[in-house]
Structure 1
Amino acid sequence: MYGEYLRVTPDELARSIADPVWGRQLADSVIEAEFVEEPAEPRNYGTDKSWHGLQYLLQRAGFPLDIVTGEQSFVEKLENWDELEGSEVDWGAGPPGYLTPEQVKLAAELLARTPFEKLIEGVEPAELIREHIYPQVWDRPGQLEELGHHYDYLPAYFAAAARAGDAVICWIA
């Protein structure tokens, strides 16, 4: 399972919620285009398997927003998600979530003030194992540092989204 982000305009977010098949097609086209040629400020970012560890560390530190799976879910806005799931729409491990442009701005401000070193202060690998944080690799050397590799990109990603007035769709693929 991999954590994914997609920066979208407010109009693209509204259309994606109303038509998650269209939203997934948009995500796929952005991911494909950025795989070929990475822009200076990408619309897509993936945290690989680090998503759960990042979510745990952020929650542990009292971060007020869920920037990993989103503050709102497509299901909250789309009553027929169960009918769509498993059909033409496949966002991965359940429906995506999202952050509004206002939430993205707040996330960008907070991430800019939250260095990774602060998140892992006092954290031992055994804690992540005990909490069943995916993937169960925390007893291997360098795994906490791998979380840092993915976290360190998030402040710039969210700052770019905030500057553009974008929302962010989040999902676990």
Structure 2
Amino acid sequence: MSMIGRYLRLGAGELERAEREPEWALEFVQELDEAGGGERSGGGWARLHRTGTAWQALDFLLRRRGFPVDLVHGEGELPGAEDWGYGPPSLITPERVALAAGALAELDPGRLVEGVRAADLAEARVYPQGRWAEEDSLHLVTAEYRALSDFVRAVATRRHGVLVWIE
């Protein structure tokens, strides 16, 4: 089983409810998963997003660029939440999502991987380690980066926040 990065878009009232009732948020994710959730198919309306197995490569590359928001791990654990796969989910507030959206607009995919080789990811032991044997594997990361950028910008447009977790 692969480890994948996941995101759930929540409005202000939903964020407050998730903080009061973290079990509600997990049930909401499960309902969306069962219903198809709109991942990558709902455009700006998508509630869920996945970065697939590229999550740690995205983290490595964004940190390397000094990205101002932790898009991969979130910025604060959801209080009282249980393990959703590889730990509890973390929250990114609407204000921090807006900051991330602005920073993403200034960082195109080519600049994200500028000066980086797949071998650098392998050397840093970035998950999944076997993927970085091929130099063109960085295209996977830039494709996931584009999709994540689109999702985050759509979330920011609605002034929503997100829950982030690895499952």
- TM above 0.5, yes or no, is yes
Q: Which moved more, 1:32-41 or 1:112-121?
A: 32-41
State the partner residue of 2:60: 56
Report what 1:66 is aligned to.
70
Count of paired positions: 162
Q: Which residue of 2 aligns with 1:28?
A: 30
The residue type equivalent to 2:13 in the other structure is: D
Aligned to 1:144: 138
Distance 1:66 1:119, change over 3 A: same
In the alignment, residue 65 of structure 1 is paired with which amino acid?
Answer: V
Distance 1:116 1:57 in 2: 10
**C-alpha distance after superposition, 1:65-94 (max 9, x if no partner):** 1011101112xx33xx5xxx4xxxx51100
- The alignment's C-alpha RMSD in Å is 1.7
TM-score, with structure 1 as normaliser: 0.86
CA distance in 1, matches of 2:35, 2:97: 23
TM-score (norm 2): 0.89
1:5-154 map, 5 Å:
5-35=7-37, 38-41=41-44, 42-74=46-78, 77-78=79-80, 85=82, 90-136=83-129, 137-154=131-148
- Measured in 2, the distance between the counterparts of 1:116 and 1:36 equals 24
| Cα distance, 1:152–1:72 mapped onto 2, change above 3 Å | same
**Following the alignment from structure 1 to structure 2, what is the Cα–Cα distance between the partners of residues 49 and 27?**
19
Give, as a single letter, the amino acid of the residue that structure 1 aligns with 2:142: G
- Equivalents in 2 of 1:51, 1:132: separation in Å? 13
Instruction: Name stretches of at least 5 consecutive residues in structure 1 with no aligned partner.
Output: none
In structure 2, the gaps of 5 or more residues are none
Match of 1:167 in 2: 161
Instruction: Tell me if structure 2 keeps the 8 A contact 1:7–1:168.
Output: yes
